[in-house]
Amino acid sequence: MALTIAEVMQAMPAAFVPEKAAGVTAKVQFDFTSDGGGQYALNIHDGVCELIEGVAPEARTTVIAAAADYIDIAEGRLEAMKAFVGGKLKLRGDMMFAMKFLQMFDPKRVSQ
């Protein structure tokens, strides 16, 4: 059964690896386009990751992608870097932080 973008985003806090986010305080906005899209944000602070539905003011980085493409990334069918290079994943804001942000999550944690 295919996941929805809402289910993918709800799983993000479970995939969060606090040790890889030591000292990080940031909000990351996600803007998903196309069918099943929407807006979400992750608020990372004090070793926790919280999901926000809607727009987070003062986001450090914004991720823009079609909902289906981001689901493919989350489920391992599409590599994030290939999606970025191919124009399927766009980033606005702090690009260096965006690269670090990707390392703060381990999808294997969700299924445990």
Question: pLDDT at residue 1 above 60?
Answer: no
- 5-36, pLDDT tens digit by residue? 999 999 999 999 999 999 999 999 999 998 88
> Where does residue 110 rank: exposed (0-12), middle (13-18), buried (19+ CB within 10 A)?
middle
Residue type for position 102: L
Over the chain, what is the mean pLDDT?
A: 91
- 39-88, pLDDT tens digit by residue? 999 999 999 999 999 999 899 999 999 999 999 988 889 998 899 999 99
User: Which pLDDT band, with edges at 50, 70 and 90, does 102 fall under?
Assistant: confident
Which structural domains are found in the chain, ordered by start?
5-104 (3.30.1050.10)
